[in-house]
Amino acid sequence: MSTPQTLHFIANEHLPSQSGRFFDNRSPVDGRLVSRVAEAGQPEVDAAVAAARAALHGPWGRLSVQQRVDLLYGVADEINRRFDDFLQAEVADTGKPHALARRLDIPRGAANFKVFADVVKNVPSEFFEMATPDGGQAINYALRVPKGVIAVIAPWNLPLLLMTWKVGPALACGNTVVVKPSEETPSTAALLGEVMAKVGVPAGVYNVVHGFGPDSAGEFLTRHPGIDAVTFTGETRTGAAIMKAVADRVRPVSFELGGKNPGIVFADCDFDAAVEGIARAAFENTGQVCLGTERVYVERPIFERFVAALKAKVESWKLGRPEDPGTVLGPLISAEHRQKVLGYYEQARAAGATVVTGGGVPEVPAELVGGAWIEPTIWTGLPDDHPVVREEIFGPCCHVRPFDDEAEVLRLANDTPYGLAATVWTRDLQRAHRLASRLEVGVCWINAWFLRDLRTAFGGSKLSGIGREGGVHSLEFYTELRNVCVRL
């Protein structure tokens, strides 16, 4: 049986690379070969950008807002019609449990198209009347026009969800896109091309090129003179490299980058809800969530009880194959990423951390030994300046530390170069609101985690990003405002 191939999608066609170069896409569950993926060189990126430019000034650019909205609704409906195809493709790449992908990844991947279609359809505009110097009158009104060809650089942790979070508003606003999915998770981006073509999205509106970063598809795309803007989710240092790549051409960027997010638990919290919330925030998707909580601060009177309850909760969760309905935790994305995370596990152990649970590689059945399995891990006892407490690990782990008062925990929470998200668990809503206004983050949850209204502003501060996405806030990046002044 031949190995499936994942090809580029350019101008509504699946195409190989001119060079004939491919790379392996392997399952993180057991190491088996999922597909051979075409690696883009400069010619493929040139072709994708040219197709996007042609569509921008061709059939796509001539559609009305309502016609675009209708097509995007069609995309969402077709994703849902092919739900199981997207589920299988996403799970094959990521190894995440079916239950999680069914609840989160695929529904949100479809919803992103409808949400932003509705936003664009209903967005207000500006209108001003003015007097002219000679005593006459004029009116001014604003047009939102597409920014152009958008480079979409998507991550591997929530591949479909975070890719469509960018593609949805970009297309709703009338732009065209060239998507570079992570080399770890190419499948759903390619599958989405079939959906686009099926529902009648014109050729060149949605294009996909596969490959890596430096000296590959990522670098060729971000440096391309035909790109008008770049949106990226991923590591902070990669974001910095992209900023350098676009600086000479002064191209706008939208970045959602790394985080080292604090979870703050006060003694007056709903204890069971806080344990459940922190467990999800630290360990869901095997800790591979940019909004996850790797630093937990617990008020001292409940510290020992909370650590014991968190340990019991995490140890009750089953690691296993994605299709097993009892599976809660899957593998990490790759063997390489596991080595990185295990490096932090070793640093914690060497520094004398108390390993509450985990700390290594679990025993798994023989057929899973080739996968990137790792134990969910809880530590206590590390100093505040230790790398495990300071640096983003992006694995299923957290360090738990006691605190004594609000001023102390606010200082600890803000003592980081990152500023993406925080969670606060307390019944005292005055205190919660007070902390939310002082925490240096883009998103603050009170007695919740990962609860998202897609109309709200989303993004990070400090090293966690530039710009905001969500609802009308996405339009600020994906459109340009053009003022029209009419003398009456």
73 within domain boundaries: yes
> How, if at all, do strands 229-233 and 253-256 pair?
parallel
Between the two ends of the chain, the Cα-to-Cα distance in Å is: 72
The reply to whether 431 and 446 lie within a common domain is yes
Q: Could you read off the pLDDT of 399-414 as tens digits, one per residue?
A: 999 999 999 999 999 9
pLDDT digits (tens, 9 = 90+) for 255-267: 999 999 999 999 9
Say if residues 148 and 173 touch (Cβ distance below 8 Å): no
Residue 288, pLDDT > 80, answer: yes
C-alpha dihedral, 343 to 349 to 355 to 359, nearest 10°: 30
Question: Quick one: 140 and 205 in the same domain?
Answer: yes
Quote the distance between the C-alpha of residue 226 and its chain's center. Answer: 25
Q: In terms of residue numbers, what domain contains 33? A: 5-257+464-487
Asked if the structure places residue 458 within a domain, the reply is no
pLDDT in tens, 93-142: 999 999 999 999 999 999 999 999 999 999 989 999 999 999 999 999 99
Q: What is the CATH number of the domain that holds 391?
A: 3.40.309.10
| Active-site option among 173, 269, 290, 444 | 290
User: What is the structure's pLDDT at 1?
Assistant: 65
Judgement on whether residues 74 and 29 belong to the same structural domain of the protein: yes
CB-based contacts of 192: which residues, under 8 Å, 6+ apart?
75, 79, 160, 163, 164, 167, 206, 208
253 pairs with which residues across the strands? 230
Percent of the chain with pLDDT over 70: 100
Average pLDDT score over residue span 8-28: 97
Q: Are residues 24 and 144 in the same domain?
A: yes
State the total domains in the chain: 2
Query: For the whole prediction, is pTM greater than 0.85?
Result: yes
Average pLDDT in the 47-54 region?
98
- Judge whether 459 lies within some domain: no
Tokens 């990490």, residue? 332
Which pLDDT belongs to residue 2?
82
- Note whether 237 and 377 are same-domain residues: no
Asked about 444 being catalytic, the answer comes back as: no
Q: Could you read off the pLDDT of 147-194 as tens digits, one per residue?
A: 999 999 999 999 999 999 999 999 999 999 999 999 999 999 999 999
Same domain membership, residue 140 and residue 182: yes
Same-domain status, 125 and 172: yes
Q: What is the per-residue pLDDT across 435-481, written as a single tens digit (0 to 9) for each? A: 999 999 999 999 999 999 999 999 999 999 999 999 999 999 999 99
Do 137 and 213 lie in a common domain?
yes
Average pLDDT over residues 354-367: 97
Query: What's the Rg (C-alpha) of the chain?
Result: 24
323 with 344, same domain: the answer is: yes
Pick from 427, 424, 449: nearest CA to 437 = 424
Q: Shortest CA distance to 79 belongs to which of 2, 242, 193, 241? A: 193
Q: 400 and 483 share a domain?
A: no
- Give the tens place of pLDDT for each residue, 289-304: 999 999 999 999 999 9
Confidence at residue 191, expressed as pLDDT on a 0 to 100 scale: 98
Domain shared by 250 and 340, yes or no: no
256 catalytic? Reply is yes
Catalytic residue among 39, 44, 184, 256: 256
CA dihedral 348, 352, 355, 361 (to 10 degrees): 50
Average pLDDT of the chain to the nearest whole number: 97
Name the band, by pLDDT with cuts 50, 70 and 90, for residue 270.
very high
